[in-house]
Amino acid sequence: MQKVLILGATGQVGQELLKVLPDAIAPERSQLDFYQPAALEKLVTDSQATVVINAAAYTAVDKAESEPDLAALANAIAPQYIAKACQNLGAYLIHLSTDYVFDGTANTPYLETAPTNPLSVYGQTKLAGEQAIQAHCANYLILRTAWVYGSLGKTNFVKTMLRVGKERRELRVVYDQIGSPTWAADIARAIAQLIPQLEPSLAGIYHYTNSGVCSWYDFAIAIFQAARDLGWPLAVQQVQPIRTYEYPTPATRPAYSVLSGAKLRPLLADYPPHWQASLTKMLLELQ
C-alpha cells in the first residue's frame, strides 16, 4: 500500500484530494513554508512517503508580475527540493502544473510534446518547476491542468462570478480566451486512479482537464444559467462579451489553452466529464 503525502492540502485540489485519499499525510499550512525550500525537503524526507503529491503553488497570476522572486520560490525552487527529496526516498512525485506554460498561438489542443512559451511570470515559474523536477527526479508525473475551480479552498472564477452576479446588474467578460474549465474534484479523482498504477515506465508529463471548451464569457453565462436553475439569488441581467485588450491585466494570458487529454485517458476509468456537467455538480455542492 502506498504512503501518500499531500503538499498544499488546504488548496482547491488539495482539499478534494483529502476526500478521495483520506489516509494521506497532510501537513498543516503552518508546517509548510514554500519560501524555505530546505525545510520543505526535510519535511518530505521525514515523511517516508512512497507518493508525494505537490498541489501547492503561487497561483496569483497577476500579482506574480510584481512578485517574481516569491513566485519563483514557490513554483520553481521549492519543486526542485521536493524532487530531490523524492529521488532520495525512491518516492513517486505527482506535481500539478498549468496550461499557462503555452503561449496560446495554437488552434488545436496542445499535446504534452508541444513547444512551451509562457507569456507570464506565473507561467515561466511553473515551467521552471517542471524542468527542475525532470532534472532531479526519475519517477515523476507532471499533470498540467487548466481553469481550475472548486467549492473548497480560495476564490476562483465561479465563486467570483456568483459574488459579483449578486451585486451587479451588468458584467463584462472576455470572450477571446478559450480553454477548458476543470473541477478540482475531477482532478483529485483522476490522481487517485493514477496512484495504484504508478511505475517507472509511466513517468512523464500528462494533461488533464474536463472535456469540452469555451471562452470565459461562455463560462460566465453557463454559471449564471446553472445558478438560476438552482434558485441562486442573482442581480445580473446582462453579460457583455469583450476583447482581452478591453480588460487589461498585469499578466498576459494565452488566447487558446485547450489541452489534449488523449495520452492520459487510457489510464483513467472514465472519460473526463464535460465541464458543464461538473459545473452543475460543483454548484450543488456549494449550495
For the stretch 182-232, pLDDT in tens is: 999 999 999 999 999 999 999 999 999 999 999 999 999 999 999 999 998
Per-residue pLDDT band at 32 (split at 50, 70, 90): confident
Task: Note whether residue 41 is domain-resident.
Answer: yes
d(CA 107, CA 130) in angstroms, rounded, equals 24
Task: Note whether residue 11 is domain-resident.
Answer: yes
pLDDT at 279 over 90: yes
Print the domain residue range for 125: 4-154+180-212+257-272
Task: Note whether residue 234 is domain-resident.
Answer: no
DSSP string, 65-124: GT-HHHHHIIIIIHHHHHHHHHHHHT-EEEEEEEGGGS-S--SSPBPTTSPP---SHHHH
Per-residue pLDDT at 38: 85
pLDDT at 30 over 90: no
- In total, how many domains does the chain have? 1
Task: Note whether residue 265 is domain-resident.
Answer: yes
Q: What is the reported pTM?
A: 0.95
Per-residue pLDDT band at 34 (split at 50, 70, 90): confident
Q: In the Cβ-directed half-sphere of 101, how many Cα atoms lie within 13 Å?
A: 26
Active site residue 245: no
Nearest to 54 by CA among 68, 62, 67, 44: 44
Mean of pLDDT over the chain: 95
Percent of the chain past pLDDT 70, that is, above it, reads 100
Task: Note whether residue 280 is domain-resident.
Answer: no
Question: Any idea of the CA torsion for 43, 208, 189, 211, to the nearest 10 degrees?
Answer: 160
Task: Note whether residue 220 is domain-resident.
Answer: no
d(CA 63, CA 251) in angstroms, rounded, equals 8
Task: Note whether residue 228 is domain-resident.
Answer: no
Q: Which of 122, 140, 175, 206 is catalytic?
A: 122
To the nearest 10 degrees (0 to 180), the angle between helices 78-89 and 37-47 is 30
Per-residue pLDDT at 154: 78
Cβ neighbours for 70, distance < 8 A, ≥ 6 positions apart = 35, 58, 64
Task: Note whether residue 208 is domain-resident.
Answer: yes
Q: What is the CATH number of the domain that holds 51?
A: 3.40.50.720
d(CA 49, CA 87) in angstroms, rounded, equals 11
